Amino acid sequence: MAKEKKRALGRGLSALLSESGEKANSVKDTGAKELVGNIIEIPIERIIPNPNQPRTHFDPKALQELAHSIKELGVIQPITVRKVGDNFELISGERRFRASQLNGLERIPAFVRLADDREMLEMALVENIQREDLDAIEIALTYQRLIDEVDLTQEEMSQRVGKDRSTVTNYLRLLKLDPIVQTGIRDGMISMGHGRALISVEDIDKQLEIYEQIIRKSLSVRQTEQLIKSHKNPSKPKEKAVLPNEFKKSQKEWTDRLDTKVEIVRSNNGKGKVILNFNSDADFQRIKDLLK
């Protein structure tokens, strides 16, 4: 069943490539039209891994699961390659390529592209961003590579990847975080929302302190934002007003005269109150009669 599916996806290399097609390495070469845009089955031994592969880590368990799927159903989605001399350099689909190698496949369906190194890197990076299983830091690093190595502006990049410019900017800002915090995002310890909140904390020691609190207390993004706000604008403790001596003297005199605790509370601006304490209804009536 798997072999039938694979045959349906692509024609053999020899069926498409004439002698001129084998030598086509640019769109101007003879045979390029017959080669580019077709899905062909390429011998895996003729495929060279992409040296500019933006992804460096491949989960072994996920690769094994993909290899099992390919064994049962074949390579459903072709990889994309660039013609380089007599071989083909991988542009995108390295997981499918590696999983096919694990299965011991001899051929794999592929789209053929003719592109220079800059175009190849851009295609690989943009294709990488479209993946759903990338973490926020991987996406941010890929955006940064598009800026640094492909020389794209944020506006051009947003058009390439189909994202709002503000979205691109938010990802790039994550790279300003301390590496420990970035690792926390990559490992799923905190979310991108937590990271965006932490960006506003410029003091690295304080940033790490809050990061540890997020993990220790399992804080939500909203709670994290409130915590950061409290650190930035700590509430100042109110200064306790000192009661002047003349008020202290009156407080003692009234306490002795009324035979009950009398409290005078006074603020620094002169406002205040006198508090008379009583122990029972009878005591209240006694104090009331004395005041008369």
Per residue in 158-195, pLDDT (tens digit) is: 888 888 899 999 999 999 999 999 999 988 999 999 99
pLDDT tops 60 at residue 23:
no
pLDDT band (50, 70, 90) for residue 33: low
Give residue 270's identity as a one-letter amino acid code. G
23 vs 113: CA distance, rounded Å: 14
Q: What is the pTM of this model?
A: 0.50
Tally Cβ neighbours within 10 Å of residue 230.
10
Task: Give the ranges where the chain is alpha helix by DSSP (H).
Answer: 2-9, 13-16, 19-22, 32-35, 60-73, 94-102, 117-129, 136-149, 154-161, 165-173, 179-186, 192-199, 204-217, 221-232, 245-258, 281-291
Using one digit for the tens of pLDDT, what is the confidence trace for 38-56?
678 889 999 988 776 656 6
Mean pLDDT, the chain, integer? 80
Residue 94 is among the residues annotated as catalytic for this protein: yes
Q: Rounded to an integer, what distance in angstroms lies between the CA atom of residue 163 and that of residue 156?
A: 10
Which residue of the set 4, 41, 72, 94 is catalytic? 94
204-217 pLDDT, tens per residue? 999 999 999 999 99
Stretch 5-32: mean pLDDT: 47
Q: Are strands 39-43 and 107-113 parallel, antiparallel or unpaired?
A: antiparallel
